[in-house]
Amino acid sequence: MLPEGVLINGLTGEVSPGTGKYTKRLSELREIFQDQTELDRLVEVEGDPVVYEVIEYRKEGSDLFFGTTTMEPGKVSGEFFMTRGHFHQRRDMGEVYYTQSGHGVLLLESRKGETKVVRMDPGVCAFIPPDWAHRSINVGSEKLVFVWVCNVDAGHDYGDILKHGMRKIVVDRDGKDTIMNNPHYSL
């Protein structure tokens, strides 16, 4: 395991060299949006667009790893494109999200059900404490690119959020991103 300089492009999210990547398309995120009929229509009409891409740099034996998440702009019936949202499996491990370009909303929810919003604008380094679920939402008209750093052992727990949803949603109301209660939230 050797030191290395990894070039990050804050406009495209490119990571050179990266060690892995995955892409999430709209059809894979069906459960998290309010209007699934409209989602199905968009998948059909727009050829299942990419919602976000994650590129990571991870080395065996290191405690930390990092990478980028690049979110496309878009909406489903006014609800902005978002990530799945997750808790970490390790409840003692948080994360850092450092926005490089674009404009987003980081939606957070503690295990106790407190909710919090952090604006993701260029230069904002979001502190995500341990055991707060987090979801990124692109509320702008360009790509939202952020660098994340995390412990390799943190792990992802998507189950709770997929099952219950998050308590808040972020929608376009008269051209303004607006935080609302999630009408489909279920405990």
Q: Which residues bind a copy of itself (CB under 8 A)?
A: 1-10, 57, 59, 61-64, 66, 92-96, 98, 106, 108, 116, 118-120, 123-130, 132, 134, 147, 149-151
Least distance in angstroms from the C-beta of 41 to a copy of itself: 35
156 phi and psi, to 5 degrees?
-115, 135
Q: Which of 68, 62, 58, 87 is nearest to 154 (CA)?
A: 87
Least distance in angstroms from the C-beta of 42 to a copy of itself: 31
Least distance in angstroms from the C-beta of 119 to a copy of itself: 6
CA 50 from chain centre, in angstroms, equals 13
Least distance in angstroms from the C-beta of 136 to a copy of itself: 12
* Nearer Cβ to a copy of itself (41/119): 119
Q: Which of 29, 86, 31 is nearest to 52 (CA)?
A: 29
* Nearer Cβ to a copy of itself (118/161): 118
Least distance in angstroms from the C-beta of 180 to a copy of itself: 19
Spatial distance between the Cα atoms of 91 and 32, rounded to a whole number of angstroms: 23
Q: Tell me the C-alpha to C-alpha distance, in Å, between residue 74 and each of 60, 152, 155.
A: 36, 30, 28
* Nearer Cβ to a copy of itself (2/187): 2
Q: Which of 58, 61, 53, 64 is nearest to 17 (CA)?
A: 58
Q: Which residues contact 3 (CB under 8 A, 6 or more apart)?
A: none
Tokens of 15: 């990571």
* Nearer Cβ to a copy of itself (8/32): 8
* Nearer Cβ to a copy of itself (61/113): 61
